Amino acid sequence: MNQHPHVLVIDDEPQILRALRTILGARQFRVSTASRGEEGLALAAAQPPDLVILDLTLPDIDGFEVCARLRAWTQVPIIVLSVRDDEGAKVRALDRGADDYLTKPFGIEELLARIRVGLRHAARTQGAAQVIVKAGSLEIDLSQYKVLKGGVEVKLTGTEYKLLAYLIANAGRVLTHRSLLTSVWGPADADHVEYLRVFIRQLRLKLEDNPEEPKYLRTEPGVGYRFDLDD
């Protein structure tokens, strides 16, 4: 990643474009903007960005389609920024390849944090796979299937480990219930959110310092879960 990551913002609201250009520019990002879906896709192809911020309601093609068409050729992190806060829209965008979802209005600190996570995740997937992942007092050795908390090994069942490994491999990304269930339990169990609830509860009891206020295993209401490496 270079010194000045390139962020492409696709949004039809001129005020949002202006605000993001100013704010992100001040944070040393290179910002390009598009107010239509096709324009955004063309820009992305001409100067591949390091991260895309995408609105769902665009005048020509909607954000879901932009998402799907970007994913046809690039793994660039996509953060959806939308006034739509229904879970259906979130799940649809995430299932079409978006990495994260932020509802307008949003705090700029929140957006910057999500951008950092997205860029870091992209750097990780491009480089060699990380073998040892550290997050706070947790240390997970993916080659040894070993989880340490404060230096003490934590015993996990097969499923718990599988779930944790999948979450960590996608750290920072929002994973929908469906994608978690499909990759850990299999497509036949894709709708059984109740399994997920129970296993997340168990993992939190084993890994979190305070299971009542989880730091790592974050819930995305009505959508899914996210493993947070940030403290």
Partner 1 sequence: MQRPLVHITVRSILAALMVVLASGLMLLVRNWVTTPTVALLYLLPVGLSTAAWGLVPGLVAALGAFVAFNYFFLPPFFTLHVLHAEDLLALVVFLVVAVTMSRLVGRAESNLARAQAREHEAVHLHELTAALAGMHDDTTILQALAEHVRATFRGNEVQVSLQAEAGGPVEVVASPSHRASPESRPTIALPILGMRGMMGEIAIWRAAGGLTSDELRLLGTFSREAALAVERVGLAEAKSRARALVQSDALKAAILSSVSHELRSPLATIKASVTSLRTALVPWESEAREQLLQAVEEETDHLNELVGNLLDMSRIEAGSLKPQRQWNDLGEILQSVLGRMRSALAQHHVVAELPADLPLVPVDWVEIEQVFRNLLSNSIKYSPPGTTVRIVAREHTPWLRVEVHNQGPAIPEMYLERIFDKFFRFTAQDQVAGTGLGLSICKGIVEAHGGRIWVENLSPGVAFKFLLPLTWEGARPREMESHEPTSSRPGD
Which of 65/189 has CB closer to partner 1? 189
Residue 167 binds partner 1 (CB under 8 A): no
User: Among residues 2, 127, 128, 158, which is the contact residue for partner 1, using CB under 8 A?
Assistant: 158
Residue 86's nearest CA partner among 231, 206, 229, 223 is 223
- Residue ranges of alpha helices (H) inside 146-192 are 158-169, 177-184
Q: Give the side-chain half-sphere CA count within 13 A for 129.
A: 8
Strand partners, 53: 9, 79
User: Among residues 49, 63, 118, 214, which is the contact residue for partner 1, using CB under 8 A?
Assistant: 214
Residue 231 binds partner 1 (CB under 8 A): no
Which residues from 187-206 bind partner 1, rule CB under 8 A? 189, 192-195, 197-198, 200-201
Q: By rule CB under 8 A, what count of residues binds partner 1?
A: 33
CA–CA gap between residue 176 and residue 191 (Å, rounded): 11
Sheet of 174-176, strands arranged across: 174-176, 224-227, 217-220
> Per-residue string for binding with partner 1, 49-78, x by CB under 8 A?
------------------------------
CA–CA gap between residue 25 and residue 32 (Å, rounded): 10
Which of 127/186 has CB closer to partner 1? 186
Q: Count of CB atoms within 10 A of residue 106's CB?
A: 12
User: Among residues 26, 28, 105, 151, which is the contact residue for partner 1, using CB under 8 A?
Assistant: 105
> Which residues of this protein are in contact with partner 1, per CB under 8 A?
85, 87-88, 105, 107, 144-146, 156-159, 161-162, 177, 184-186, 189, 192-195, 197-198, 200-201, 212-214, 219, 221-222
